[in-house]
Chain A
Amino acid sequence: MEIRQWVVKGLRAGIVTTPYPAAQETASGVSPGIPCAVSQMSESEGARLVEICPTGAIESENGEVHVDLRRCIHCFRCGWESEVHVGWEKTYEWAQFTPTGKSHAWPKGFSKSLHIRVVDAGDCGACLAEVKQLNNPYYNMHRLGFFLTPTPRNADILLVVGPVTDQMRRPLRETFEAMPTPKLVMAVGSCALTGGVFGPSIFSGSGVGNLLPVDVEVPGAPPPPLAILHGLLVAAGRKDPASGTAASLGCVENQAG
């Protein structure tokens, strides 16, 4: 009786898996989105935005406003500033290779099934929670061949979240050393890329790149599960990374939402 009720429950709940990566996900609430620049912005508006952004993610040059996604912590101060009209795009494909990662030779035949060792190097909890959502029926990364593994010996990808606090430096380094080649390091979240609001300080670093050779970066605070999924697919070579340089993302003119 007990087993049967669970089977019925599971069958009745149906399939809720996202169509991504075959098609784009259109449900709302799956991504916090990114600020995208309206192509022509006055110098004062640009200066205002640069002033507002607490991490210096917004840079302005001749009215052309660039957003360095690696620094964006999704505080929305630029979006809710009433004087400046900032576009907002609900995308989630943000992952990119680092310059060293681009030339990373990933053996053929490795892309079908990858095992991931997740290391929490001081993360606030949100990035780790989003990584954990990857196993839920909505995103279900198992269908794409990604698995979490408890031992670095079986791992192909080292997924690091957090700015790398001082007391996690050695365990993180140990994990990286314990993984056999070929291996990939993926830094997820703005803290892991640039240290977020916590670093650099004596106790907290400014990103994984200072300790390990990072290959794939997924910006966001936190990057939603779809962004992390895109990052994994980029790492596996099954999806293209976000186009454009890391520093700027041109986007379709869009009203703030």
Chain B
Amino acid sequence: MSSLVETASRAEQNWPGQVHGWVDRRKPVSELRCKGLAVLPSVAKWLVSELNYRLAGIIVEELAQEWEVRYLFYLEQQQGWTHIVVRPPLEVKTLPSITSEVHAADWHEREIEDLFGITFEGHPLLGDFILHNDRWQEAMAPMRRAFDPRAALAERKPDLDWRPRTIVEGPGAFAMPVGPIFSGATEAVHFLLETVGEDVIRAYPRLFFKFRGIEKLAEGKSIDSCLLLAERFSATTAFAHAFAFSQAVESICRTRVPSRAQAQRVFLAELERLRHHMGIIHEICESTALAVATSQAAILEEELLRISGTLTGHRYLFGLAIPGGLAKDLPDFACIQAVEGCQRIVDRLLELDQMLRYSSSFLDRIEDVGIISPEKAREFGLVGPIARASGFADDLRKAQPYSGYERISFDVPVEKEGDGFARLRILVAESVQAVRIMARVPAMLEPGKVRETISPQAGVALGWAEAPRGAVFHWLRLGPDGLVSRFRLITPSFVNWHGFHLAAEKFAFQDFPIILATFGLSVAENDR
């Protein structure tokens, strides 16, 4: 808390007259409001390089007379948020880019340019990001309030000469296209692998084939409809998203969630984490073509899905987390049974992990493959198990605790190598910790209700959660009528896909599917 105040005052000292610091002690948030645009990159650089903040994301809102552009920063080891806020008038269409100082802002700025039409000066690669140029014309800006879908459809002018941008020059260099439809049952994403024959020199993923415009759909909807959107857009981690959204609503409406609900939310979040990690381990074994390990991991994943289904009625935990608590109360004995089942599964997982560590053919394909160095992980602002495998000990449950996590003792495993084997070890270790947390919850369950009614009111808040893939942020602004006026989703897959190419380059073609599997990224979560 004191660091927030300190940050604000130091900022006012460094840029007198240009930056005004304002602290909200309740949240706690400190806002550095910049008067002019030119000072923006230096403030961002100061926060990241000198004070070791990390960028969570950028939020753009079109208010009545002006833009509000908010850069979210937080510290790994301390509670509280620091936002840099600029409010240029609506006629201003150009902002200075902070990408050369804070590279984690790269894709955020590209997204804003595609969806809002704001150019970022100094960013060399704007355009053809979310809205593919071979489908839509440039300068569509669908997130503007004045956007008319019918007019956009009528004026639709795809670029028929569109060609993928290749950057490798050399004798015999060519590019291998993979996707968007490839392999057996994979998500729709297109890779352009540039090579001179053996090694992948550059791997560029072309995403957003699955773009559904969630943020635009949410505008004007009720809280309940928006909850459905937030829960369903990436259903493999549906509970974590519903969890974060509910916390944002509760923060706006100043609702206090009953402690029984808080504990059960933690329980279900960890159950989802366990099931998600098991799925990734299953995919890693499948990518290395180790058939028996694949089957065994698949058995464990299916058992977790059945435990989830038996406990809550839905295998993917749909319809449980709602603003105000949980929609359904889980009986204590059911929770204990679920814990016992999960414990047995984790024991078998550890057995499987031990066998994998002794299979040299498996290790050969995973060890020292797809390496991301700690410096790169920090530079790109990676989150989740991937970042933790590269030495970046960042977990929102510890850094910005919520829903009672501060009362539960658990470890956050960290590895340094940053290769595929390190990521596998992290997944196994986190699964063990997840069951450990789940085991503590039944003792914390006090009798009582699990649902508090909410009274919608105007306001703005950030809700967050540590989803299985990493930090997830839901920024919500409700209007006076209680309807959603702005909903911003910052997902861990979006941040991590940005860094995927670091791992895939300089390795052979055959390693590519394995590297893809060890990342465990979701395209649906990225595309929104």
The reply to whether A and B meet directly (CB within 8 Å) is yes
**Contact of A136 with B by CB under 8 A:** yes
The A-contacting residues of B in range 128-186, CB under 8 angstroms, are 132, 135, 142, 149, 152-153, 180-186
Cα–Cα, bound, A13→B345 (Å) = 13
**Contact of B208 with A by CB under 8 A:** yes
- Pairwise interchain contact A119-B181, C-beta atoms closer than 8 A: yes
**Contact of B14 with A by CB under 8 A:** no
Contacts of B308 in A (CB 8 A): 29
- Pairwise interchain contact A150-B184, C-beta atoms closer than 8 A: yes
Contacts of B319 in A (CB 8 A): 74-77, 80
- Checking B295, B310, B524 against A137 with a beta-carbon cut-off of 8 angstroms, the contacting residue is B295
Q: Annotate A45-75 by CB proximity to B: 1 below 8 A, 0 otherwise.
A: 0000000001000000000000000000111
Task: Give the segment of A94-102, A198-206, A208-216, A240-248 that binds chain B.
Answer: A198-206
What interface size band does chain B fall in? Answer: 35 or more
**Contact of A41 with B by CB under 8 A:** no
**Contact of B236 with A by CB under 8 A:** yes
Contacts of B301 in A (CB 8 A): 133, 136
Task: Give the segment of B95-103, B353-361, B404-412, B418-426 that binds chain A.
Answer: B353-361
Task: Give the segment of B32-40, B227-235, B395-403, B429-437 that binds chain A.
Answer: B227-235
Chain A interface, >50% SS class: loop
- Pairwise interchain contact A126-B211, C-beta atoms closer than 8 A: no
Cα–Cα, bound, A121→B208 (Å) = 11
**Contact of A87 with B by CB under 8 A:** no
Contacts across chains A and B counted by CB atoms under 8 Å: 198
- Pairwise interchain contact A136-B310, C-beta atoms closer than 8 A: no
**Contact of B212 with A by CB under 8 A:** yes
| Closest-CB distance, A77 to chain B (whole angstroms) | 7
Contacts of B185 in A (CB 8 A): 118, 120, 128, 131-132, 148
The A-contacting residues of B in range 210-265, CB under 8 angstroms, are 210-214, 216-217, 224-225, 228-229, 232-236, 238
- Contacts A29-B310, A75-B319, A118-B185 known; A13 to B299 CB distance under 8 Å? yes
- Pairwise interchain contact B236-A126, C-beta atoms closer than 8 A: yes
- Pairwise interchain contact B309-A221, C-beta atoms closer than 8 A: no
- Pairwise interchain contact B229-A197, C-beta atoms closer than 8 A: yes
**Contact of B298 with A by CB under 8 A:** yes
Task: Give the segment of A103-111, A164-172, A230-238 that binds chain B.
Answer: A164-172
- Pairwise interchain contact A125-B292, C-beta atoms closer than 8 A: no
Contacts of A31 in B (CB 8 A): 309
- Checking B296, B305, B359 against A10 with a beta-carbon cut-off of 8 angstroms, the contacting residue is B296
**Contact of B316 with A by CB under 8 A:** yes
**Interface size (A, Cβ < 8 Å)?**
66
Chain B interface, >50% SS class: helix
**Contact of A175 with B by CB under 8 A:** yes
**Contact of A2 with B by CB under 8 A:** yes
- Pairwise interchain contact A28-B310, C-beta atoms closer than 8 A: yes
| Closest-CB distance, B46 to chain A (whole angstroms) | 38
| Closest-CB distance, A79 to chain B (whole angstroms) | 8
**Contact of A22 with B by CB under 8 A:** no
- Pairwise interchain contact A222-B235, C-beta atoms closer than 8 A: yes
Q: Annotate A148-185 by CB proximity to B: 1 below 8 A, 0 otherwise.
A: 11100000000000110111101100010000000000
**Contact of B378 with A by CB under 8 A:** no
Give 18 new A-B contacts, CB below 8 A, not counting A29-B310, A201-B216, A203-B142: A6-B290, A10-B295, A29-B315, A31-B309, A32-B309, A73-B232, A120-B210, A126-B316, A132-B185, A163-B212, A167-B209, A167-B210, A196-B232, A198-B217, A202-B149, A202-B152, A221-B318, A257-B313
Interface positions of B (Cβ within 8 A of A): 132, 135, 142, 149, 152-153, 180-188, 208-214, 216-217, 224-225, 228-229, 232-236, 238, 279, 282, 290, 292-293, 295-296, 298-299, 301-302, 305-311, 313-316, 318-319, 327-328, 352, 355, 358-361, 522-525, 527
Interface positions of A (Cβ within 8 A of B): 2, 5-7, 9-10, 13, 16, 27-33, 54, 73-77, 79-80, 118-126, 128-133, 135-138, 148-150, 162-163, 165-168, 170-171, 175, 196-199, 201-204, 221-222, 224, 257
Question: 23 A-B residue contacts at CB 8 Å?
Answer: A10-B296, A13-B299, A29-B306, A29-B307, A73-B232, A75-B228, A119-B181, A126-B238, A129-B236, A131-B185, A133-B305, A137-B298, A166-B135, A167-B208, A168-B180, A168-B210, A171-B209, A198-B217, A198-B229, A202-B152, A202-B153, A222-B235, A222-B316
The 10 lowest CB-CB distance pairs between A and B, nearest first, are A29-B309, A29-B306, A136-B298, A126-B235, A29-B310, A148-B184, A124-B235, A76-B319, A203-B213, A125-B236
